[in-house]
Amino acid sequence: YTWLRSLMGQYISFEQGTGDALVYVSNHLKLDLSARTRAELCDEYLKLKPYPEVPAALETLQALGLPLAILSNGSAHSIHSVVGNSGLEHRFAHLISVDAVRIFKPHTTVYELAEKHLGLHRSEIMF
C-alpha cells in the first residue's frame, strides 16, 4: 500500500494505511472487523517487541562508535512509542519519520532525509 500511495502522490500516515489495509483484507475475506477491533489491532503495532538478539547487536554497534538511527515509514508518534516500549530508546541518536517528507520508502527523498538528519552522505550510512 505504501508503494502505491507513493506512486500516486497520495500520502497518508502509515498508521492510517495499516488500518485501511486491515479493513480491505477483512472485507476481502468476509471477516467482521469492528472499529474497536481495528483500533486494538493497530495499537498492537506500537507494542512490538524486538527480536531477542537485537539489544546485544545494538550494543555491539554502539561500542564500535557507530551512531544509530531509525528511518521508518511510521509516524514520529509510532516510532517513539515502539522504541520506548522496547526499552531501547537510549541506543538511538535519531528517530526519523517519513512524515517530514510525506512519501514512503523507497523514494529517494526519504533517504535524503536520513542524510540531512545524520549529516552524512548516503555512502556513509548503512540502511
Q: Collapse the DSSP code of 74 into the 3-class scheme (helix H, G, I; strand E, B; otherwise coil) and give the result.
A: coil
Bigger pLDDT: 77 or 5?
77
What does pTM read for this prediction? 0.84
Residue 72: Cβ within 10 Å count = 20
Over residues 99-114, the mean pLDDT reads 93
Q: Could you give the percent of the chain with pLDDT greater than 90? A: 75
**Beta-bridge partner residues of 72:** 97
Q: Are 91 and 63 in contact (CB under 8 A)?
A: no
Q: What is the band of 14 on the pLDDT scale with cuts at 50, 70, 90?
A: confident
The model's pLDDT over 39-96, given as tens digits with 9 standing for 90+, comes to 999 999 899 999 999 999 999 999 999 889 999 999 999 999 999 999 999 999 999 9
Q: Are 79 and 95 in contact (CB under 8 A)?
A: yes
Question: Domain 2-124's class?
Answer: alpha beta
